[in-house]
């Protein structure tokens, strides 16, 4: 990436069926506190909980979203969460109600990752440098 290019990603939405179950899963596994969020505009039945973020920060952010128009599932886009050592977050997945699909594995010079399924049936990943 050159100095004039910038990361094009800005926001991620993870769709859920049971907001409180999904909130508990992500807060437990990532050791974070989700932030209640007002849905922008007129989105009807959209309910959102944001992941922690800071305006203008270096990472993108996103939210858990519950709405009748979108459903959770596997086989589509795969979102990776950054962490110091993905084995740590992966070790919390089963107790939080999820499933480990791929334990921590080497990506060579690109670090490590693990793949899991959350309580809503979404496939997500963790990525770390060590």
Largest separation between any pair of C-alpha atoms in the chain: 45
List the CATH number of the domain containing 112. Answer: 3.10.180.10
pLDDT in tens, 8-27: 777 899 999 999 999 999 99
Looking at the structure of the chain, the number of domains it has is 1
pTM of this structure: 0.85
Please say whether the beta carbons of 81 and 123 come within 8 A: no
Residue 3 lies in a domain: no
Give the whole-angstrom CA distance, residue 102 versus residue 112. 11
Alpha helices in the chain (DSSP H): 19-30, 86-90
Residue 50 lies in a domain: yes
Please say whether the beta carbons of 90 and 103 come within 8 A: yes
23-32, 64-73, 77-86: which is most confident: 23-32
Residue-level pLDDT at 3: 58
Is residue 2 very low, low, confident or very high in pLDDT (cuts 50, 70, 90)?
low
- For residue 78, how far is the Cα from the chain centroid? 9
User: Which residue is it, tokens 């007129």?
Assistant: 42
């Amino acid at each position: 990436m050159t100095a004039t290019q910038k990361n094009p990603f800005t926001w991620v939405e993870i769709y859920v069926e049971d907001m409180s179950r999904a909130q508990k899963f992500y807060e437990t596994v990532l050791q974070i506190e989700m932030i209640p969020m007002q849905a922008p505009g007129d989105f009807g039945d959209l309910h959102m909980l944001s992941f922690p973020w800071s305006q203008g920060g270096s990472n993108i952010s996103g939210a858990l979203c519950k709405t009748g128009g979108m459903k959770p599932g596997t086989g589509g886009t795969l979102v990776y969460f950054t962490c110091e050592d993905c084995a740590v977050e992966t070790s919390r997945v089963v107790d939080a109600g999820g499933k480990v699909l791929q334990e921590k594995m080497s990506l060579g010079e690109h670090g490590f990752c693990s793949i899991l399924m959350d309580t809503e049936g979404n496939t997500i990943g963790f990525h770390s440098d060590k």
